[in-house]
A and B are shown apart, each in its own frame.
Chain A
Amino acid sequence: MIREIPVTRIQTAVETLLTEAAYRLPADYLAALEASAPAEPSPVGRQVIDLLLENSAYAQAEQIPTCQDTGMAMLFLEVGQDVHFTGGDVNAAIQDGVRAAYAGLRKSVVGDPIQRINTGDNTPGLIHYEIVPGDRVTLTALQKGFGAELMSRLQMFPPSVGVEGVVRFVVETIELAGPNACPPVIVGVGLGGSFDTVAHLAKKALLRPIGSTHPTPHLAALEADLLAAINRTGIGPQGLGGRVTALAVHIEAGATHIGALPVAVNLNCSAPRRASIEI
């Protein structure tokens, strides 16, 4: 059975998700941040955590963005294979939703990476589609600040580096990022796949609820080991020293070639804006 969904419905959903994400940080993130405070022995680290919580409450009450960098819009659509979009071009409808949402937000997008002229309306948003069974559409929006995006890294390792090599690379990424990524960070790790898909795995790891663990036991154990190693670095909130450098490490893994161990680390910051809706 084909289910028809007018593209205007997608457009409105994109606009609403992005508008609200700007001032309302995800509840799972706020809970994780609050829970981290007692684990932070550094007084300045505690102050930073308290300030971030206060900032979030103030932004929500005033309905103003939590952070000035409302980022690039990233839209992830899981589209049921029985869905038929009607009434126009779904890509254009999504961009219209982005444009409307950013009318009152900062315009942070340039049209060409070399010439660098601001597009003036924060389009284009970056769109990812995935075909899934069923007749529903799950739309997830990320408003990705680029302080943390800039410090993200990818490496195609030989398999011989093993899990130790993965740990070294992830911790090194956090050390290089330090205060730049606005810690406490959320760490998305992609393992496996190919050069392009490993980056996508790392980004998808940031879509998971904070603190959720990987269903595969050895990857869940690696998530815990990585989090512990990262929080031993001493970088702390805002890089001013402390134990809460990351709130969570999420791994997404996939099949890969016998000759490689691709690793990607995508960081999210103290303003990890994410919102989701099922249509």
Chain B
Amino acid sequence: MLTPPLTDTDLLSLRAGDAIRISGVIYTARDAAHKRMAELIERGEPLPVELAGQAIYYVGPAPAKTGHAIGPAGPTTSGRMDSYTIPLLRLGVKLLIGKGYRSPEVKAALVENRAVYAAAVGGAAALLARHIRSSRVVAWPELGTEAIHELTVEGFPAIVINDCHGGDAYADGRAAWEERGE
């Protein structure tokens, strides 16, 4: 079980392909929030939340139905955040959660900054939301679903895709099952 803020020991032990569970507080951000964070970093201004040691989940949750803490909340495509990610890793963000390929630059920056990229199962949003106990908007409410939400999660499941040793679960998975020839 991983609980942010994450330590080097936590991160070094993770390997591409590992199934992990996350508990505690994580922060949501997708396209619009990333753009704003990148602008703040560029201007040398502080971010609305302290992200050193923390986890960012790329998600735009659906509205909550009565009696639910949050609506369905599965991962969105991580690659769209690539161009904003490296400054965040330099600030000490340690865990990124989304789905899909990362750029070579982001993969290198994960190794350099000792951080990990993990994927949650896209399309399994209703089940994933069951691991989210509470949700509150902590920055930029005007962005709606794209605002930064602070989520309290319990046993949130993900799979390590890019570890801080250069491992890549997408490449490994494909290599194991590709049928060549014909």
- Chain A: residues with CB nearer than 8 A to chain B? 41-42, 44-45, 48, 51-52, 54-55, 58-59, 62-70, 104-108, 116, 118, 120, 147, 150, 178-180, 182, 232-236, 238-243, 269-271
Binary interface profile of B, 48-80, with partner A (CB < 8 Å = 1, else 0)? 000000000001111101001001111011010
A105–B62 alpha-carbon span in the complex (Å): 6
Interchain residue pairs with CB less than 8 A apart (7):
A54-B124, A68-B73, A105-B63, A147-B76, A178-B100, A182-B123, A239-B101
In-complex Cβ contact of B65 among A48, A62, A107 (8 A):
A62
In the assembled complex, B20 has its CB within 8 A of some CB on chain A: no
In-complex Cβ contact of A64 among B65, B124, B175 (8 A):
B65
In-complex Cβ contact of A238 among B68, B71, B121, B178 (8 A):
B121
In the assembled complex, B169 has its CB within 8 A of some CB on chain A: yes
Chain B interface extent, by class: 35 or more
Q: How many A-B residue pairs have CB under 8 A?
A: 158
Check B60–A238 contact: CB distance below 8 A: no
Once A150-B77, A270-B123 are accepted as A-B contacts, the answer to whether A232 and B99 lie under 8 Å apart by CB is no
Check B173–A42 contact: CB distance below 8 A: yes
What residues of chain B lie closer than 8 Å to A179, measured between beta carbons?
99-101, 119, 122, 170
Main secondary structure of the interface of A (DSSP, over half): loop
What residues of chain B lie closer than 8 Å to A120, measured between beta carbons?
144
What residues of chain A lie closer than 8 Å to B65, measured between beta carbons?
62-64, 104
Check B60–A239 contact: CB distance below 8 A: no
Quick one: closest A residue to B171, CB to CB? A241
Binary interface profile of B, 111-130, with partner A (CB < 8 Å = 1, else 0)? 00000000101111111011
What residues of chain A lie closer than 8 Å to B122, measured between beta carbons?
67, 147, 179, 182, 238, 269-270
9 tightest A-B contacts by CB? A241-B173, A270-B123, A234-B178, A180-B100, A234-B177, A182-B122, A59-B126, A232-B179, A55-B124
